[in-house]
A = this chain, B = another copy of it.
Amino acid sequence: MTKSVAAPQAKGKSAEDKIFGANNRATALAEQLGADKVINGTVGSILDEDGNLVMLDVVQKAYKALTPKEIVAYAPIQGYPDYLEAVIDQCFGESRPEGYIRACATSGGSGVLHHVIHNYSEWGDDILTSDWHWGAYNSMCTDNGRHLREFELIGPDGKFNLESFKANVTDMVAKQYNTVIIINSPANNPTGFALSSEDWDHVLAFLKDVVNGKDKNIILVSDVAYLDYSGEKQECRKFFKKFGNLPSNILVVVAYTCSKGFTMYGQRMGAMICVTSSKDVADEFVAINQYTSRATWSNSNSAAMKAMVNICKDPKKVAELDAERAEYLELIKERADLFMKEAKECGLKYLPYLSGFFITIPMEGSQKVCDLMEKEHIFLVPLGKGIRLAVCSVSKKKIAGLAAKIKAAVEATGAKQ
């Protein structure tokens, strides 16, 4: 018998990460054959047209300017006050919602989700998200004895499936004290889908109604990891305004990260930002999440916070940042447009993509298709109901012709679209 000393609730946990696995194989093959011979569509980071990982110039300069103290001093557990201010400003832009807004530093967006699950749901609870979601949400729930439940994101009409959302929330509110809901929009990973302004109005009106007069709470997590590449700076932020003036038993937590917007992926820097109409709930938010930070990772990366602050306090640098982001937003759009155009031409279906790092090709039998593509040195991420293509990291040259190759592999393997 296999020996084990893990606690009962921790026994048997393991995960082969399909994304890192495919990426490792792609990288190894590229070293062997040359990078031009391999298409690696697995990486969730921006690569330029030559295949190099992009670190924004303004961010590189900010890192070079850091003092030893800024790099290695212990930061306060909640985060440096100027970082927390900068984060709130960067996140909301001109669409800062009304209410009590507070922030706590976290380890990227992942850290936000961990803290929300840990502090706002109970062992055994369901956590709701859409069927199209980032795989790590599952690990976060499983590791903490929660169960990830899915509503259907996109209805048969290609629009947000409000009915599926309502049915799931209604059922959860009936059963649980708190209902934690994670909505990754705009630029949903893995589809590029987003809720429209009207979708948000319907969602929020429904949420108000469903807990009205009840001793039940909704914790709405707005995961905006890809926000800065989802459209014009102020336009794509307008939905944030809707988070103001909600009843006190609806707490909005925005999962903000510097990973994408500042290309600081490996620095592990993010923040959880609350929006609430109740001062008590805001105070509690800081108290319990700061407590959990102390008990989990202690303080956060000082250098990353200081680099971010040094950019944000200087309007010239912010302008430089915005210009660089706009450039990469445009590049990703060109890649995505090219893929979608060719997909239409060859009759390959894809899910409604508006913006973001990924496009999803829906199908049954994605693993077989990905396996076959790998023989042609093309690496994509197989999902339960489709294939994820990272348009953030594949050059236009390599995108050209890719839709037809996927279409051929779908037909060769008998996968159903």
Residues of A within 8 A of B (CB): 2-11, 13-15, 17, 20, 44-45, 52-53, 55, 59-60, 63, 68-69, 71-77, 107-108, 110-111, 114, 118-123, 125, 136, 139-140, 142-144, 177-178, 217, 219, 248-249, 251, 263-268, 278, 280-281, 284, 287-288, 290-292, 294-303
Please name 12 further chain A to chain B contacts, defined as beta carbons within 8 Å, in addition to the given A7-B119, A265-B302, sorted by A numbering. Answer: A10-B118, A10-B119, A15-B291, A44-B74, A45-B74, A53-B72, A73-B266, A74-B266, A107-B298, A110-B296, A111-B298, A297-B297
Residue contact B139 to A71, C-beta cutoff 8 Å? no
Smallest Cβ distance from A22 to chain B, in angstroms? Answer: 13
- A268 contacts B300, C-beta separation under 8 Å: yes
29 residue pairs of the A-B complex, CB under 8 angstroms, read A3-B278, A3-B280, A3-B284, A4-B281, A5-B219, A5-B249, A5-B251, A5-B284, A6-B288, A13-B291, A20-B76, A44-B74, A45-B73, A53-B68, A55-B68, A71-B266, A71-B267, A73-B265, A74-B266, A107-B107, A108-B297, A110-B296, A110-B298, A111-B298, A114-B296, A136-B298, A139-B291, A265-B302, A296-B297
Question: Using Cβ atoms and an 8 Å threshold, which residues of chain B touch A107?
Answer: 107, 296-298
Nearest first, the 3 closest Cβ-Cβ pairs linking A and B are A266-B302, A143-B295, A107-B297
Closest B residue to A55 by beta carbon equals B68
The answer to whether A294 touches B4, judged by C-beta atoms less than 8 angstroms apart, is no
Contact of A53 among B73, B110, B139, B281 (CB under 8 A): B73
A3/B281 contact (C-beta < 8 A), A15-B294, A74-B45, A139-B295 known: yes
Q: A45-B73, A68-B55, A266-B302 are in contact. Are A6 and B296 (CB under 8 A)?
A: no
Complex interface: chain B residues within 8 A of A248 (CB): 3, 5
Cβ contact within 8 Å between A263 and B298: no
Question: Are A301 and B143 in touch, CB under 8 angstroms?
Answer: no
